Amino acid sequence: MIWFAKRIGLSLLLVWMVATMAFAAIHVVPGDPAEIMLSEGGFAPDPSTVRALRKELGLDKPILTQYGNWLHGVARGDLGAALTDGVPVSDVIAQRLPRTLELILAATVFAALLGLPLGTLAAVYRGSVLDRTLNAFAALFDGMPVFVLATVLIFVLARQLRWVSTGGYVPFATDPIDHFKLLALPTIAVGLGLGAVVLRMTRAAVLDTLMRDYVRTARSKGAGPLRILVHHVLRNALMPVVTVLALHMGAMLGGTVLTELVFNWPGISSMMIDAVNSRDYPVVVGTLFTIATLFVLLNLAVDLIYGFLDPRVRN
Amino acid sequence: MTGRRQFLGLGAAAALGAATPFRFARGADNNTLLFALGTYPATMRPFASSGNTGNGIKLMIHRMLTSYNAAGELQPELATWTQPTDTEYVFELREAYFHNGDPVTAADVAYSLNEIVGENSTAFMKAALEDIQKVEVLGPRKVRVVLKQPTATFLDLIATPFVPIISAKSASAPPEDPIGCGPFTMANRIRGEGFVLKRFAKYYRQGLPKIETVRATFYADESLRTAAMENGDVDIIEAVPWQSITGLQGKPNVKLELGEGGYYYLMFNFTTGRFTDPRVRQAVGFAVDRQAVTNAAFYGHGRPLGGLPIPDGPSFSLEMAGEPFTRDVAKAKKLMVEAGYANGFSVNVPSMSNVSAFQRAGQVVKENLAEIGIEVNLVLADYARYTTSCNRGQYEFAVYGATGIYNDPDAISSMLIGPPSYLRSFGYRSPRVEAMLSKGRGELDPTKRRVIYADLQKACGEEGPLIGLSWRAQGYATKPSVKGFANMPYFLSVYSPILMESVSLG
């Protein structure tokens, strides 16, 4: 019980530290939100107007007071309001985060559907033309920057073949078919790279498992190749692959910026870029806080499950 | 057929249907215009500057007392006016309604103008309209504005999207959702994504707007914006990227609407450093190859600018004024020697990291100045950092780009004189130039104003507070089926969405 309490306490401390660092970092970066807001469109703002806006936004208060107010708000579940338009930060995050999560989930499923069977095939036919071809494709897509892949996809699928739109977003509730059609390109762009990783991981894991004693035993007992592959090899080989997929999903939370930008997919990453550019402190800090909390919660859940399943971890 | 087979068959058909390639072109809906935006405006507060994109959206949901037509000529909008004296304007409002159904009254006009010039106002036009002495309601639809002094540009100032007439009831509405009286209502504002505007049935111009809905979507990536235009996914795109202009020219499915809507220039720190010497500023002015800047920064879609960025018009003639700077490296070197910098020097020049055109222009300037011994180190900063540091004068000279708020020569005032700003030379003060600007603003005769602004151009050539580099192309691309839209001239280019009320899709 003490171990569980320690883990939870440590997680809370971590969230507080991340939030504080995010708050400090964005305030340290040069750039005044009031000046930027009033400088829109390349017109010169009047300094007295800038002062008035700073006061209106509460930016004239000492930094520690602003920090204290923000922490007080967070403790009450209030992440504050965007400086630019006064919309509650929690609303902004609630609007954008699900879209990024949806993209990550879709890309992960796509990557798994692509990488698992192809990686298994590559392992089973190790050294064949198929294996070498799949390896070459994996190397190509693993190393290709997402913006290059995205540009190629737009050029081929949208511009030349005109199968899909160039980009954008339609809510599922408005038009489910258009929603998925627009999700397709960013999913492929993110998923191909990840699929290449999964393919290589699967190939390595399957190869490793194929050489295990219990596989040899199963074979000697007369089990068919398909049965061995499905029941004995894949089950054991999938563990590291799933771990890699889970790690990549976490990393993609902040790593879909280019994809969202290129495909005009309005997720949380592109929102963060806008917020940083306009120095919208509450949105930046609130978003980082939310992402950090998600990470910490995920890790905490994993830790607690490990601890529950394996008593040695608790020691 | 068994149930299982039926199920599999239906599933396969559905999967095939979903996977079947289809053309994602818009449907045959001539009542919805799809507009691709270059930015998402940070704020839609009525009296703030919302950037070019936001101001364009405002011009669809708001109306001002005066406005510009497609040719850029000033015209009555919500009101006609008379001018009993040089400092008095009497406005007679037409019959118009706000989006909440209330009539537009003189009290609403007084409310709007007083909100702008009020003591605690953060309005963009607060300083520009400080000449307003009082606003008097003379009747339900009659209002008098008294100025402290004659101002030739007053009617221009109130024609800009920064001076919309909003309902006095907006005081109790959310700041981002004031009550306007324009041709479209704000049906939906999706933060960071775009807007859905709907036709306002009680708009005061009969039969307008012609379309029911405008869907304005933010495209962060300019290449994607262009691709969407070429693909037929949208009807209009704003801020056509310079690198795409040549590619779009001549395409049968795209119509370009371009003009010279902005400019790039050099500004200097007048309080400290080597550029406090006018000879060094002039040397820079003579050293720069403006055609090379135009080619590099705007892919040739612009025009060299060797003087002040003032559009030709009734009150300014480039032919009369002449341009003080053309490339003359020998003269530039001579000025450097005279200033005591025969061996040159090195200087850090801030440049914006997220606008590649600034970097390209900066690179050309860097190469040109190397010829006269000035070694330029371009220091990249994002927009926020650049803006703040330049507002504080943390530079010696900088390359920047801007636009004016109207086509009158007086638009140059805010680029020359005023409190510290990232847009103008830091610490520049000149009684001579200030007197000229004041005289030009107070003079109502265009012929006399031409002389004043020709003199101003010459004075600025000598003092070098703003050394022009290049006019830049700016505008829109539309489908040929879009009728009634045009790119308004010069600085009014970004106000072109005001014409959206007349747009139809044929």
Distances (CA, A) of B6 to B9, B10, B13: 5, 6, 10
Three-state secondary-structure class, residue B330:
helix
Beta strand pairing call for B142-147 and B88-93: antiparallel
Identify the pLDDT of residue B16: 41
So what's the ipTM on this one?
A: 0.73
pLDDT tens per residue across all 506 residues of chain B: 444 455 445 444 444 444 443 333 444 478 999 999 998 888 899 998 888 999 999 999 999 999 999 999 999 999 999 999 999 999 999 999 999 999 999 999 999 999 999 988 888 898 889 999 999 999 999 999 999 999 999 999 999 999 999 999 999 988 889 999 999 999 999 888 899 999 999 999 999 999 999 999 999 889 899 999 999 999 999 999 999 999 999 999 999 999 999 999 999 999 999 999 999 999 999 999 999 999 999 999 999 999 999 999 999 999 899 999 999 999 999 999 999 999 999 999 998 888 899 999 999 999 999 999 999 999 998 888 888 888 889 999 999 999 999 999 999 998 999 888 888 999 999 999 999 999 999 998 999 999 999 999 999 999 999 999 999 999 999 999 999 999 999 999 999 999 999 999 98
Preceding omega of B209 cis (within 30 degrees of 0):
yes
CB A251: neighbour CB atoms within 10 A? 13
Helix (H) or strand (E) holding B18: helix B3-19
Tens digits of residue pLDDT in A120-137: 999 999 999 999 999 999
* Chain-chain contact of B42 with A37 (C-beta, under 8 angstroms): yes
- Written as six digits, the tokens of A94 are 């609630």
Q: What tens digit of pLDDT does each residue of A216-231 get?
A: 898 888 888 888 888 8
Q: How far is A77 from chain B (nearest CA, A)?
A: 22
Contact at 8 Å (CB) between A203 and A233? no
CB–CB contact B42 A46 (8 Å): no
H helix or E strand, kind and range, residue B379: strand B374-381
Contacts 24+ apart (CB under 8 A), A105-108: A105/A249, A106/A183, A106/A187, A106/A191, A107/A186, A107/A187, A107/A190, A107/A191, A107/A194, A107/A252, A108/A191, A108/A194, A108/A245, A108/A248, A108/A249, A108/A252
Identify all chain A residues contacting B40, using CB atoms and an 8 Å cutoff.
274
Q: Between residues 214 and 273 of chain A, which touch chain B (CB distance below 8 Å)?
A: 261-264, 266, 270-271
Q: Do B24 and A177 touch (CB under 8 A)?
A: no
Is the distance from CB of A138 to CB of A193 less than 8 angstroms? no
Q: Is A52 on the interface with B (CB under 8 A)?
A: yes
Contacts of B22 in chain A (CB under 8 A): 163
The verdict on a CB contact (< 8 Å) between B24 and A47 is: no
Angular region, B194: left φ>0, alpha ψ -120 to 50, beta rest: left
The alpha-carbon gap from B137 to the nearest alpha carbon of chain A, in Å, equals 27
Among all residues of chain A, which has the CA nearest to that of B421? A44
Range 55-94 of A in CB contact (< 8 A) with B: 56, 82, 84-87, 92
Placement of tokens 């032919």 in the chain: B319
Q: Is A279 on the interface with B (CB under 8 A)?
A: yes
Residues within 8 A of B (CB atoms), A 139-198 only: 151, 154, 158-159, 161-169, 177, 180-181
Rounded-to-integer distance, Cα B470 and Cα B493, Å: 17
Amino acid residing at A87 = V
Q: Between A3 and B4, where is the model more confident?
A: A3
Interface of B with A in 138-197 (CB under 8 A): 174-176, 190-193
Angstrom CA distances, A134 to A113, A114, A198, stand at 15, 11, 12
